[in-house]
Amino acid sequence: MLPTGKRSFRFDYRLNGRRETLTIGCHESDPSRKAARDPEQLQYGMAVSLREARPLLERARRDLERGVSPSSAKIEKRTDAAEALTVGWIESELDALIKSRVRASRPGEQVVA
């Protein structure tokens, strides 16, 4: 439990002599949602119930047995998603810029950037 009152599920482990912590997810206290989600669709960092946190813990332990840091995998996935958003934004801005330059050019003449 954090000082703010937020409850979270954490997994402390050692890999290559280094201590690491994975936050599996924050505790979901919504009593109206009784049905558990598919374990394959669960991701680290989501709001999860205790029932849903257990398969995520097992997934983290399997990664650790293979020598893969579960927290590093979580960070890598988040970085990949951010890069995909950035590349998509750059492509859309570049397309808009090229289209605006083509429209601004004289009729029959195209400007290539």
DSSP 29-49: --TT--SPPPGGG--TTEEE-
Domain count, the chain: 1
What would the pLDDT profile of 56-72 be if each residue is shown by its tens digit? 999 999 999 999 888 87
Question: Residue 48 burial (CB < 10 Å; 0-12/13-18/19+)?
Answer: buried
111 is a domain residue: no
Range of the domain at 78: 8-104
What pLDDT is attached to residue 31?
59
What would the pLDDT profile of 6-52 be if each residue is shown by its tens digit? 888 999 999 889 998 888 888 877 656 666 788 788 888 888 888 88
What would the pLDDT profile of 95-110 be if each residue is shown by its tens digit? 777 777 766 555 665 5
38 is a domain residue: yes
Indicate yes or no: pTM above 0.75.
Answer: no
44 is a domain residue: yes
Tell me: pLDDT of 91 over 70.
yes
